[in-house]
């Protein structure tokens, strides 16, 4: 189980560079669905047809892209300048190893004597271990992307630390749910979206192509059970699948929220309510594209999101798999 998740986390995929992870996920989900398609921006759309007479289209969306860096300039001494692709916490990323899409590894270093408050993209460079621009250009080029080296280590119990759980754990949940569901009631669209980290762009075109009746984002949500979050976050790590009510990008469909609560209760799936005071998800674009859809989210609690050591609890992940599968099998949502 965890090995499948690790395999998904290990494939690079910065925003707009999701081709490799798209291939990986297509291959993983293919045996369990009726068809797998790709749209012009690279979204993977896997369909499992339902058996009910009057069917709805239910779209689950987990994003494939991870936050990363993009090369902007190579200096004469071979040091590489980058900028962010998605929101990077530069204090957390300082002096971490970065892997580029072709496998080249370097270290992300802040310019000397930079105050912590000044740690921004333009104060950083990547040291590839080379001495000249020429040597660097043999390894990376302008426009190439990278990300902090992926990792996943076990902590106590069923908790794991590493990256990128955001949102490869959501992708993993969709694959596991597709395996579990034998005969869905409605038409189910499992979508692995691109470019969420730069503004939920991929899910826009995917929703246009799918035209769902119901859109459910499966993404991580920050848990409030750590020191000094500064805001009132109600989600707790290990307390089960988080059913989204709102974040900064979406007010979820209240009937859908109620249905998800009822379903979780009925099936004895541990769940909690998510009211997020910031952030955004693909639910926002599913809700408003074309004629719109009833949108919501099933979220995985996460600590230290967007850092090299995000922490998740596999009991939450299992609950999310069960809840997604339960939605697929339920006719009236």
Partner 1 sequence: MAKGIELLEKLCQAFGPTSCEYDVADVICEQLEGKYDEHTVDFIGDHVFRIKGKTDKKLMLSAHMDEVGLMISGIDEHGYLHFQPVGGFDVKVLCGRKLFVGNYGKEKISGLIASKAIHQQSAEERGKATPIDKMYIDIGATSKEDAEKYVEVGDYAVFDSDFVKFGDGMIKGKAVDDRLGCAILCDVIDYIHENKIVPDFDLYFCFTVREEVGRSGALVTANRIQPDMALVLEATAVGDIADTPDHKRVADTGKGPTVSFMDNGTAYLPEMVDFAMGLGEKHNIPCQLKRYVSGGNDAGHIHKSSGGVKTIAVSCPTRYIHSASCVFNSADYDSMYRLARQTALCPVDETPVK
Q: Which stretch binds partner 1 (CB under 8 A): 35-43, 50-58, 260-268, 322-330?
A: 35-43
Concatenating the DSSP letter of every residue in 69-127 gives: EEEEEE-TTS-EEEEEES---HHHHTT-EEEETTS-EEEEEEPTT--GGG--GGGEEEE
The bridge status of strand 151-154 relative to strand 159-163 is antiparallel
Binding segment toward partner 1, per CB under 8 A, in 202-210, 221-229, 240-248, 259-267: 202-210
75 versus 229: smaller Cβ distance to partner 1: 75
18 is an active site residue: no
Binding mask 130-159 for partner 1 (x = CB under 8 A): ------------xx----------------
Q: Does 281 bind partner 1 (CB under 8 A)?
A: no
Instruction: Provide the phi-psi class of 304: left if phi over 0, else alpha when psi is between -120 and 50, else beta.
Output: left
* Residue 109 binding partner 1, by CB under 8 A: no
For residue 81, state whether it binds partner 1 (rule: CB under 8 A).
yes
Please report how close the Cβ of residue 40 comes to partner 1 at its closest, in angstroms: 4
Nearest-angstrom CA–CA distance, 106 and 95: 10
Query: E strands of 248-314, at which residues?
Result: 250-251, 271-275, 294-302, 310-313
Q: Could you give the maximum distance between any two Cα atoms of the chain, in Å?
A: 67
Place of tokens 């979204």: 43
List the catalytic residue out of 196, 197, 318, 330: 196
Return the residue of 198, 234, 251, 275 that touches partner 1, per CB under 8 A. 198
The contact set with partner 1 (CB under 8 A) reads 15-17, 19, 39-43, 70, 72-73, 75, 81, 83, 85, 122, 142-143, 195, 198, 201-202, 204-206, 208-209
Active site amino acids: 196
């Amino acid at each position: 189980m965890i090995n499948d998740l690790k395999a998904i986390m290990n494939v690079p995929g910065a925003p707009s560079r999701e081709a490799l992870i798209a291939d990986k996920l297509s291959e993983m989900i293919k045996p369990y669905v009726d068809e797998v398609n790709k749209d012009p921006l690279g979204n993977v759309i896997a369909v499992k047809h339902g058996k009910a007479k009057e069917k709805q289209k239910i779209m689950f969306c987990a994003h494939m892209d991870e936050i990363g860096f993009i090369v902007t300039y190579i200096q004469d001494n071979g040091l590489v300048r980058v900028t962010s692709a998605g929101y990077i916490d530069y204090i957390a990323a300082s002096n971490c190893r970065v892997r580029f899409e072709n496998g080249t590894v370097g270290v992300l270093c802040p310019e000397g004597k930079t105050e912590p408050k000044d740690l921004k993209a333009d104060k950083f460079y990547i040291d590839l271990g080379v001495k000249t621009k020429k040597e660097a250009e043999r390894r990376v080029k302008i426009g190439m992307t990278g990300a902090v080296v992926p990792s996943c280590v076990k902590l106590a119990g069923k908790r794991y630390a590493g990256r990128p759980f955001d949102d490869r754990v959501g992708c993993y949940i969709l694959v596991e749910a597709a395996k579990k569901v034998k005969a869905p009631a409605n038409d189910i669209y499992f979508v692995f979206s691109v470019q969420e980290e730069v503004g939920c762009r991929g899910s826009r075109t995917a929703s246009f192509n799918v035209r769902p009746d119901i859109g459910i984002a499966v993404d991580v949500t920050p848990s409030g059970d750590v020191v000094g979050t500064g805001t009132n976050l109600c989600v707790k790590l290990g307390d089960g699948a988080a059913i989204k009510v709102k974040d900064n990008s979406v007010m979820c469909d209240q009937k859908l929220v109620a249905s998800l609560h009822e379903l979780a209760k009925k099936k004895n799936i541990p769940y909690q309510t998510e009211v997020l005071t910031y952030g955004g998800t693909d639910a926002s674009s599913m809700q408003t594209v074309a004629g719109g859809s009833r949108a919501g989210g099933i979220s995985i609690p996460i600590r230290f999101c967007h850092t090299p050591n995000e922490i998740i609890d596999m009991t939450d992940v299992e609950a999310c798999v069960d809840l997604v599968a339960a939605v697929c099998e339920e006719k009236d949502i």
